[in-house]
Amino acid sequence: MMDIVPLFKALADERRIRIVALLSARALSVEELAAAVDLTPATISHHLALLREAGLVEAAHEQYYTVYRFRQQPLLDAMRTLVERPASPGLDEDLAKYDQKVLRDYLVDGRLKTIPTQRKKRDVILRYLAQRFEPGRLYSEKEVNAILVDYHDDVATLRRELVQADPQMAGLGGAPSLQPGNAVARRLLARENGRYWRATDDAGQPAAPPATVAEGVDLSLRS
């Protein structure tokens, strides 16, 4: 697996980032870079050496000058490696500890002291509340409210937060699609025709809607 640490260390300096930005536009000499970023040629040469060592810059001779060019591919490879790298064995445990701390801080005798304003903490609470609903079961709004009121009186806010979807995943015209993996599946609870269902399973993965919803049955006609 590619060692990405040296590359990102090379970019952990504002001056080197500026140099890379300039070289991404066109090849430049040491003197041109020095004038552009207001540094001495010796300092520029030092930074270029670090960038070349990381594979981000290459040198080429043109007439009487040596010019430097930005190499994009190593950065793309590093980003790909970062995305594909398996999670650390302790990552899930660390995340679980954070969730537990948030729940301890906000739950008193099983009820929320307040709804967190910080998004990250609120998400922990929402995931916890979503687990109060059984996967594959339909709920009326009255049933949803009855479950949520045991945790906080502001059931409208909790219900709205649970059904909020990522707007970038929304279907055309804002209409939700009922296939797993799209906007509805990104919610913790999904809603259609006045009925709610849990949109993720216990592992947090998208869950298929109940068959009656997927088949387009009008649930508003039911009690």
Sheet with 195-198, strands from edge to edge, namely 138-140, 195-198, 189-192
The answer to whether residue 84 scores a pLDDT higher than 80 is no
pLDDT at 170: 37
pLDDT single digits (tens) 196-206? 998 876 666 66
Domains of the chain: 5-82 (1.10.10.10), 91-221 (no CATH)
Report, as an integer, the average pLDDT of 169-188: 41
**Average pLDDT of the segment spanning 88-115:** 82
Q: What is the pLDDT of residue 2?
A: 63
pLDDT at 215 over 90: no
Structure tokens at 184: 């509805």
DSSP 56: S
* Rounded Cα–Cα distance for residues 207 and 209 (Å): 6
Sheet holding 28-29, edge to edge: 28-29, 65-70, 57-62
Higher pLDDT pick, 217 / 183 = 217
- Residue 220: the pLDDT is 44
Confidence of residue 210 (pLDDT cuts 50, 70, 90): confident
Segments of 102-194 assigned E as strands: 107-108, 111-112, 138-140, 189-192
Q: Distance (Å, rounded) from C-alpha 68 to C-alpha 47?
A: 12
